[in-house]
Amino acid sequence: MKMNVDDAPKHAAACIALLDAGRLAEALAYCADQRIDPPQCSLTAESPNAHKLRMKAMDHLSDEAWWRKRLAIGARRDMEMARMRQQRQASEND
């Protein structure tokens, strides 16, 4: 699956729908399914800090700019991996 920065609104909207339904765990899984490291937070801890981290995770998951940045990083990583594979194959064929 190729990462496309233009998909940021789609991913943010998908997470907003999940979060509006109270499904933070599914929103985090959706993020991981897109090959994006999800924000770190505890789903079960009851401390003020855990609550703060959950709120921050929800803010990130619903933010198009957050998605755009991570999709751009992923696209660059994919391009670099493809370039390295090409170089390796070229050197094997020499």
67, exposed or middle or buried, with CB in 10 Å at 0-12, 13-18, 19+? Answer: buried
Q: Are the beta carbons of 39 and 57 closer than 8 angstroms? A: yes
pLDDT of 3 over the 90 cut: no
CA distance 92 to 39: 39
Report how far residue 1's alpha carbon sits from residue 16's, in angstroms, rounded to the nearest whole number. 22
pLDDT bucket at 90, cuts 50 / 70 / 90: confident
Q: Over the stretch 12-57, which tens digit does the pLDDT of each residue have?
A: 999 999 999 999 999 999 999 999 999 999 999 999 999 999 999 9
Mean pLDDT of 58-75: 97
Q: The pTM is what?
A: 0.86
Q: Give the torsion sign (CA, 17, 19, 20, 22).
A: positive
